[in-house]
Structure 1
Amino acid sequence: MTTFRPVLASLAAPVAALMPLLALAAYELNSPVIIINGEADDAPQRALGLLLIGLPVIYVVLALVAFIVGWAFIRIGLVSLRRFILGASALAVLLAIPFGLVGSNPSQYGLQDLALALTAFCGIFLLMAVPGAVCWWYVAKCHLTFRSSGPPSAPAEL
């Protein structure tokens, strides 16, 4: 019964983490199709379709990552909300760097494209990581407050 709250938190955190992405998807769903040189540019609608098709897999992967990262944060002592958010933010930035490097093409567009891609991925990952971390921490808070990291300490002798 002690792992029920972190498991529940790991199932709820991806919902909160995906909210900014789903808000962007809802915006794209309501945007009109752009006509460029007489041809319809429906790339945003196709990307939305791919997102909706891949959403179950993304949810399961994020739930697994949330459980592993939350468990690791508890193990290394990031138990307070502030430290939990800082850890999630640091991890989001560290994960955004390889995505930004892959998502840019500095050989063709220069370092400005690299900086833009890194900034965009860092922003997206932070917008997803912080709500997910807050949700995970609040749902698993009961487990965090009663968990002891070591043997009970004896009262200090005077």
Structure 2
Amino acid sequence: MLASFLAAAVALLPVLLMALSEIFASPSGGVALGEPDDAGYRGAGLALAAMPFLYIAAVPVCYAVGALLLSFRLLRFLRFLGGASAVAISLGVGIGVLLSASTGFGLSDVPASVAVTTLLCLATVLPAASCWWFFAVRPHNPSLR
């Protein structure tokens, strides 16, 4: 269970870093009146406000994915990461298709949406899976590498 709490924190670390980098960056665009655009600040603020709720949702997801990968007997580190990559890619494709279906711009946005969401899923899932493996699998099987 401890591994799931730590893995959820590690999974949300890239989102936290992106939000903080947006807050500390200078405004990049402008609006019609010549004032700086604060959409990035608002988005970062929303991400930071949603962080506790995302963490609460991520803990059972980390536990479920880790237990699923262990049920497939993926005890070796690289096999565990391979299984986590398969989960991340399938999540990225599914979320990307769902997000692009709601835009109404046609099929031209689907590949870009799928690519971005897949990369974001890989950036969050692989560090979380590494953390989960080191805290849940490795201590019980010290001979595994």
Interval containing the TM-score (normalised by the shorter chain): 0.7 to 0.9
Question: For structure 1, which runs of at least 5 residues remain unmatched after alignment?
Answer: 1-6, 147-158
The residue type equivalent to 2:7 in the other structure is A
Larger RCO of the pair (alpha carbons < 8 Å, separation 6+): 1
Query: Given the two structures, how large is their TM-score scaled by the length of structure 2?
Result: 0.87
Counterpart for residue 20 of structure 2: 26
More deviation in 97-106 or 109-118? Answer: 97-106
Give the drift of 1:40: 3.7
What is the aligned length? 139
Counterpart for residue 32 of structure 2: 37
Deviations 1:106-133 (A, max 9, x none): 9853433111000000000000000000
Counterpart for residue 149 of structure 1: none
More deviation in 33-42 or 63-72? Answer: 33-42
The residue type equivalent to 1:50 in the other structure is L
Check conservation: 1:35, 1:41, Cα contact below 8 A. Answer: yes
More deviation in 14-23 or 103-112? Answer: 103-112
Larger radius of gyration: 1
Q: Does 1:122 align with 2:113?
A: no
Percent of residue pairs identical? 32
Question: For structure 2, which runs of at least 5 residues remain unmatched after alignment?
Answer: none
Deviations 1:24-68 (A, max 9, x none): 111101122332322442221111111111111111111111111
The runs of at least 4 aligned residues of structure 1 exceeding 4 Å deviation read: 105-108
Query: Given the two structures, how large is their TM-score scaled by the length of structure 1?
Result: 0.80
The residue type equivalent to 1:124 in the other structure is L
